[in-house]
Copies of this chain bind each other. A is one copy, B any other.
Amino acid sequence: MSSMGAEPGTVRPGGRTARVRAAVLQAAGDALAEHGFAHLDLTDVARRAEVGKTTVYRRWGTVTSLVADLLADMAEQSLPRTESGSLLGDLTANARLVQRTLADPRQGALFKAVIAAATGDTRTAEALHHFYDTRVNEWAPCVQQAVDRGELPENTDTHEVVRAVSAPLYYRFLTTNSLLDEAAADRAAEAAVAAARAGAYLRSRGM
């Protein structure tokens, strides 16, 4: 894996400041995954990251600020989209990426923690919305390509199609204890493509 890889917490080039940030965000993610937002504590994060407490307090100041930075980093590190040449192929790749992330014990727990934190804190909510906007913007062009190829209606809301792929996976993740398996991912992509073809995501519908 290259040093620019998408593995959370990978140390990226950029000297001590970047290394400290990577270590602190990795530690913050671990702490959130293990104990949730309510128990997130900058002193504990500094200890886990083996970084001076003063550095962490000076740079991030509050747990809210730290979580916002973690989400910004998760958005940056979100893998570039794959291009398979077909809409179903592209959206299936996206769905499987979401499914693997949520089904991963650490990542799944981390997402639950930040979604929960966002329900009670405006700044965290903004950072979470920004994370999803970044991901949706990254994948929307594969839907536009399908429109350009004539596979989907002209006026399709490309961002809404991308959201439609993630939605059933997050809904299952948060509201059931069912296994989030690859079949669920494939079904999410297939359903989004079928609905998009049928014109369910046209921009003119008041969205």
Q: Is the CB of A125 within 8 A of B186?
A: no
Q: Is the CB of B183 within 8 A of A174?
A: no
User: Are A194 and B183 also in contact (CB < 8 A) when A116-B120, A163-B171, A168-B167 are?
Assistant: no
What copy number does this chain have within its complex?
2
> Does the CB pair A171–B181 fall under 8 Å?
no
Query: Do the beta carbons of A129 and B175 come within 8 Å of each other?
Result: yes
Interface residue? A57 (CB, 8 A): no
Main secondary structure of the interface of A (DSSP, over half): helix
Question: Could you say which of A2-10, A20-28, A198-206 contacts chain B?
Answer: A198-206
Place the interface of chain A in its size category: 35 or more
User: Which residues of chain B come closer than 8 Å to A128, judged between CB atoms?
Assistant: 175
- For chain A, residues 157 to 207, give those with C-beta under 8 angstroms from any C-beta of chain B: 160, 163-164, 166-168, 170-172, 174-177, 181, 183-184, 186-187, 190-192, 194-195, 197-201, 205-207
What residue in chain B is nearest A131 (Cβ atoms)?
B175
Whole-angstrom distance between the Cβ of A175 and the nearest chain B Cβ: 4
Chain B contacts for A118, CB-based, 8 A: 174
On A, residues with C-beta under 8 Å from B are 36, 38, 112-113, 115-120, 125-126, 128-129, 132-133, 160, 163-164, 166-168, 170-172, 174-177, 181, 183-184, 186-187, 190-192, 194-195, 197-201, 205-207
